[in-house]
Amino acid sequence: MTEPNRLSPFPAPDHQPVAGGIAARARAAASGGARYLAGLNPEQRDAVETLDGPVLVLAGAGTGKTRVLTTRIAHILSQGRARPGEILSVTFTNKAAREMKTRLAEMLGQAVEGMPWLGTFHSIAGRILRSHAELVQLKSNFTVLDTDDQIRLLKQLLQAENIDDKRWPARMLAGLIDGWKNRGLMPSQVPSGEAAVFGNGKGGKLYASYQERLKILNAADFGDLLLECIRLFRENPDVLRQYQNRFKFILVDEYQDTNVAQYLWLRLLSQAPSSSGSSLPGSTRQSIAASDEDGSPGHDAARRPGDDEKSVAVPGATPPPKNICCVGDDDQSIYGWRGAEVDNILRFEHDFPGAKVIRLERNYRSTGHILAAASHLITHNEGRLGKTLRTEDVEGEKVTVTGAWDSEEEARGIGEEIEELQRKGEHLNDIAILVRASYQMREFEDRFVTLGLPYRVIGGPRFYERAEIRDALAYLRVINSPADDLAFERIVNVPKRGLGDATVQMLHDHARKRRIPLFEAARAVVETDELKPKARGSLRQLVLQFERWRAQREVTPHTELAEIVLDESGYTEMWQKDRSADAAGRLDNLKELIRSMEEFENLHGFLEHISLVMDREGAADEDAVSLMTLHSAKGLEFDNVFLPGWEEGLFPSQRTLDEQGRAGLEEERRLAHVGLTRARRRAKLYFATNRRIHGTWTTTIPSRFLDELPAGSVEITESKGGSGWGGAGGYGPSRFDNVESFGSSYSTPGWQRAQARRPGAARGATEGGFKEEQSPFSGRDPFGGGFGGNFGRSKRGPLTIEGELVAKSTGTTSEFALDDRVFHQKFGYGRVVKIDGNKLTIAFDKAGEKKVVDSFVERA
């Protein structure tokens, strides 16, 4: 194969780092044995030292998974078993890859520079693909399409097929194609029944033509990076053999999250290289059949296509087992909905005969009660490999379960508990709120803003998915490759140039007729009088601009060129003129984009990797509460974890239950397990009896998962957010008082009443405490919760603030006026866009639109 591109994110070429390996070896020897092995427990050590043959490490939450992986690499290197370039080490996210590199660097010093094959599935597969692109009908500089491009392309195809994209949305097709790719299916391999469900039987055809279009555009989507790589290996045994020979050791992180395509890819690479390249029997069928029989219901579609026929070899017969080590936790498989196959990990021993399975069950993270709760909960799942987490830590505080009247009270209660923790000296950085669905976050944000409590949302739209970033990238893409039609189309009228659908349609026709890219078509069309003078003029100007930029590219550094392009195209100006709230933020993002380009040598190198490596970077040194979904919390840990929204329908999610049945429920339960195991010292669960879903109030039932917790490790507490309503004995968690067994608490009278209540039924005073006012600013509730017992203990004085709120909220209008320029301590400068009593909606320059109480802002 060709030498990896110089601009690859893996900085050093294969051969160079050997010195590092030797250095590490020498270091290990010099220190009289393997220093890096010290401090590992026996199981961990076993996982590190069992180098030969397939190994499955079942690493429960908090058992030192990453440590094992990195130490294992160090061990391989220091034993001289392989050079850095001979170890393939795959993760799912860039973040995980980065962390491994960092930790390896700590362990080995500079040697980490030499781990060229440590990266995500996609980046590594993409890199291999670029080296042999021509074998899969691509050029080595192919573009990686993001979801947006994908949808746009599919829309065109749907149009061409005259399919009503109302009835058959492009999004849906994109989802289907993605699913097929996740399962390793080329267009011809999609079961015809499945392909027919879309667009009156045209699904399969559309998939095929989509793939054709991608080739014409010299593009690949994310799924292709793996799928085409698999095809490359299958169709070119000699190429496959190169890689099989190269990789002496394979390590896989988060194996429970692998999908079929990733599994197939690993299988191909993990086969011992064979001289003939095709001597492998297809005995996999048996394992498939077996797993289908005892597998969960309704998953016949999930059988492994492509496993049949010649494609995948099974080391069952004779070939010596490859040294593959997969690390994962079946209890943390939470990505089934996007194609992950828990089956991969459940069947590991079957797939890799002779595999050694090592369980890491000693948890170094959580206290006894938390671990007990998490472990007990997860035992309700069937179909697991079974681990029993244990800790030598203290029992610690019990897991608390708190009921709240509604989601506002829940947010209020959590807000107060956080302030209390803060008073006890906890750092906000050690506190996280983990929600099931992102819409739950808003309520917390609102609450924290009024409290002035710093928080940080983790997750959300990724940097490179933002419109302005994609627009900017599109400009650069067109400069880099004039044939990038999708990019051209994206920016042809951004900023507005008077080149609308009509013009674009015209260009399309022209381009198709002559089989030339859109840009070429544009160049040709401006020479004709097919367009109205106005459109023709701006199109000509655009073409000329691009040609000028391309010429400048030779003599101008790429970062500078990017600035010139954004400037001259009027793109920057477009946002500068934009009066909307987030315009300033977008301009910042563009600056950030240009800054990030500096790491790359030139435009080409930047574009080649940007779609794969770019992610949001947190400039997060400030002490703040973390707010995120359970999914994005995987892999993280916090001293104090709040888990709101444990209600039927929300968690477990009704939709998952409907769509995936029991498998879905089990995945939700694993999600609950993940949530609990994020906590080191305190885990606090909440449920609300009423929750607003899509604008309407709905009465909910506490999650069945609450019933599945071990009573001995759980404590029912009162909601601090609303205990004040109606005084003592008011509605609320007090109904749990004196309830011995947690599981039975739902049969208490108060509880039954709550259940009997109809959604939306007005029932104000029956419990003597239902709010008359929903607003958190209504005079009573801040006193209720706040003055209850904590008065005066606050360092920052949130109670005083509440007092202010109360005082000011009584009808007096705000002293601010619309359009006033204001300043807020956390959000910076902004403009008042809406006034509601003392509640202001402010469009902050940086932070976007937020609702804030007027006492928090001052005139700017």
Q: Is 834 a binder of DNA (CB under 7 A)?
A: no
| Smallest separation, CB 612 to DNA (Å) | 4
Residue choice 156, 632, 778, 790 for contact with DNA (CB under 7 A): 632
Identify which of 351, 251, 311, 352 has the alpha carbon closest to the alpha carbon of residue 47: 251
Let me know how many helices (H) and strands (E) the chain has, helices first.
Answer: 33, 23
Question: Facing residues of 220 across strands?
Answer: 144
Backbone dihedral angles phi then psi of residue 204, each to the nearest 5 degrees: -65, -40
Residue choice 139, 496, 548, 796 for contact with DNA (CB under 7 A): 496
Q: Is 859 a binder of DNA (CB under 7 A)?
A: no
Identify which of 96, 56, 103 has the alpha carbon closest to the alpha carbon of residue 329: 56
x-marked contacts with DNA along 448-467 as a string, rule CB under 7 A = -----------x--x--x--
Between CA 329 and CA 69 the distance in angstroms is: 14
| Smallest separation, CB 384 to DNA (Å) | 19
Helices (H), 617-720: 630-633, 654-677, 704-707
Q: Is 759 a binder of DNA (CB under 7 A)?
A: no
| Smallest separation, CB 498 to DNA (Å) | 5
Is the N-terminal amide bond of 495 cis, ω within 30° of 0? yes
Of the residues 66, 93, 156, 841, only one is catalytic, namely: 66
Nearer to DNA, 41 or 438 (CB): 438
| Residue 322 near residue 270, CB atoms below 8 Å | yes
24 appears as a binding residue in the annotation: no
Residue choice 424, 513, 579, 694 for contact with DNA (CB under 7 A): 694
Q: Is 317 helix (H, G, I), strand (E, B) or coil?
A: coil
Question: Facing residues of 431 across strands?
Answer: 640
Q: Is 242 known to be catalytic?
A: no
Q: Is 161 a binder of DNA (CB under 7 A)?
A: no
| Residue 614 near residue 596, CB atoms below 8 Å | yes
Q: Which helix (H) or strand (E) holds 153?
A: helix 147-160
Residue choice 386, 498, 759, 788 for contact with DNA (CB under 7 A): 498
Q: Is 338 a binder of DNA (CB under 7 A)?
A: yes
Structure tokens at 125: 């597969």
Q: Is 66 known to be catalytic?
A: yes
Q: Is 438 a binder of DNA (CB under 7 A)?
A: yes
Q: Is 253 known to be catalytic?
A: yes
Q: Pairing mode, if any, of strands 219-221 and 143-145?
A: parallel
Chain residues 242-271 in contact with DNA, contact rule CB under 7 A: none
Q: Is 656 a binder of DNA (CB under 7 A)?
A: yes
Q: Is 655 a binder of DNA (CB under 7 A)?
A: yes
x-marked contacts with DNA along 525-564 as a string, rule CB under 7 A = ----------x-----------------------------
Nearer to DNA, 505 or 800 (CB): 505
What are the contacts of 151-160 at 24+ separation with CB within 8 A?
A: 152/486, 152/489, 152/490, 153/210, 153/213, 153/214, 153/217, 153/486, 154/206, 154/210, 157/206, 157/209, 157/210, 157/213, 158/199, 158/206
DSSP 849: E
| Smallest separation, CB 772 to DNA (Å) | 18
Nearer to DNA, 206 or 280 (CB): 206
Residue choice 510, 631, 669, 824 for contact with DNA (CB under 7 A): 631
Q: Is 706 a binder of DNA (CB under 7 A)?
A: no
Residue choice 598, 659, 815, 858 for contact with DNA (CB under 7 A): 659
Task: Please list, in sequence order, all residues whose beta carbon lies within 8 angstroms of the beta carbon of residue 789, skipping any fewer than 6 positions away.
Answer: none
Residue choice 389, 449, 612, 853 for contact with DNA (CB under 7 A): 612
Of 322-330, 382-390, 411-419, 629-637, the segment contacting DNA by CB under 7 A is: 629-637
Number of residues located near DNA, criterion CB under 7 A: 43
| Smallest separation, CB 475 to DNA (Å) | 18
| Smallest separation, CB 152 to DNA (Å) | 10
Of the residues 72, 103, 365, 678, only one is catalytic, namely: 678
Q: Which helix (H) or strand (E) holds 44?
A: helix 42-49
Helices (H), 484-582: 485-491, 501-514, 518-525, 533-553, 558-568, 571-577
Of the residues 65, 384, 691, 831, only one is catalytic, namely: 65
Q: Is 643 helix (H, G, I), strand (E, B) or coil?
A: strand
| Residue 256 near residue 332, CB atoms below 8 Å | yes
Of 60-68, 246-254, 290-298, 501-509, the segment contacting DNA by CB under 7 A is: 501-509
CA distances to 222, 439, 538, 688 from 403, rounded to whole Å, are: 43, 20, 62, 6
Q: Is 373 a binder of DNA (CB under 7 A)?
A: no
x-marked contacts with DNA along 65-104 as a string, rule CB under 7 A = ---------------------------xxxx---------
Of 47-55, 208-216, 625-633, 704-712, the segment contacting DNA by CB under 7 A is: 625-633
| Smallest separation, CB 126 to DNA (Å) | 7
62 appears as a binding residue in the annotation: yes
47 appears as a binding residue in the annotation: no
Q: Is 598 a binder of DNA (CB under 7 A)?
A: no
Q: Is 479 a binder of DNA (CB under 7 A)?
A: no
Q: Is 575 a binder of DNA (CB under 7 A)?
A: no
Residue choice 134, 238, 293, 501 for contact with DNA (CB under 7 A): 501
Which parts of 240-370 are beta strand (E)?
249-252, 323-328, 356-360, 362-363
Q: What angle do CA 726, 789, 433 make, to 5 degrees?
A: 85
Identify which of 818, 839, 815 has the alpha carbon closest to the alpha carbon of residue 830: 818
Of 290-298, 354-362, 652-660, 806-814, the segment contacting DNA by CB under 7 A is: 652-660
Helix (H), strand (E), coil (C) string for 753-783: HHHHCCCCCCCCHHHCCCCCCCCCCCCCHHH
| Smallest separation, CB 500 to DNA (Å) | 2
Structure tokens at 633: 């919390």
Of the residues 254, 419, 647, 767, only one is catalytic, namely: 254
Of 235-243, 273-281, 287-295, 500-508, the segment contacting DNA by CB under 7 A is: 500-508
Nearer to DNA, 436 or 447 (CB): 436
CA distances to 34, 89, 109 from 102, rounded to whole Å, are: 20, 14, 10
Between CA 653 and CA 334 the distance in angstroms is: 13
How far is C-alpha 174 from the geometric centre of its chain's CA atoms?
18
Between CA 121 and CA 814 the distance in angstroms is: 55
Chain residues 312-331 in contact with DNA, contact rule CB under 7 A: none
Of 10-18, 27-35, 305-313, 433-441, the segment contacting DNA by CB under 7 A is: 433-441
Tell me how far apart the 2 most distant CA atoms of the chain are, in Å. Answer: 86
Q: Is 502 a binder of DNA (CB under 7 A)?
A: yes
60 appears as a binding residue in the annotation: yes
Amino acid sitting at position 786: G
Structure tokens at 759: 């959604």
Q: Is 586 known to be catalytic?
A: no
59 appears as a binding residue in the annotation: yes
Which DSSP string corresponds to 373-415? HHHHHHTT-SS------EE-S---SPEEEEEEEEHHHHHHHHH
Identify which of 511, 296, 274 has the alpha carbon closest to the alpha carbon of residue 382: 296
Of the residues 43, 253, 667, 845, only one is catalytic, namely: 253
Nearer to DNA, 692 or 753 (CB): 692
528 appears as a binding residue in the annotation: no
Identify which of 268, 236, 222 has the alpha carbon closest to the alpha carbon of residue 123: 222
Of the residues 256, 258, 332, 450, only one is catalytic, namely: 332
Q: Which helix (H) or strand (E) holds 228?
A: helix 222-235
97 appears as a binding residue in the annotation: no
Of 2-10, 368-376, 627-635, 820-828, the segment contacting DNA by CB under 7 A is: 627-635
Query: Given the rule CB under 7 A, which residues bind DNA?
Result: 92-95, 120, 122-123, 147, 165-166, 222-223, 337-338, 436-439, 459, 462, 465, 493, 496-503, 535, 612, 615, 628-629, 631-632, 653, 655-656, 659, 694-695
Q: Which residues are known binding-site members for ATP?
A: 59-66
Q: Which residues are known binding-site members?
A: 59-66
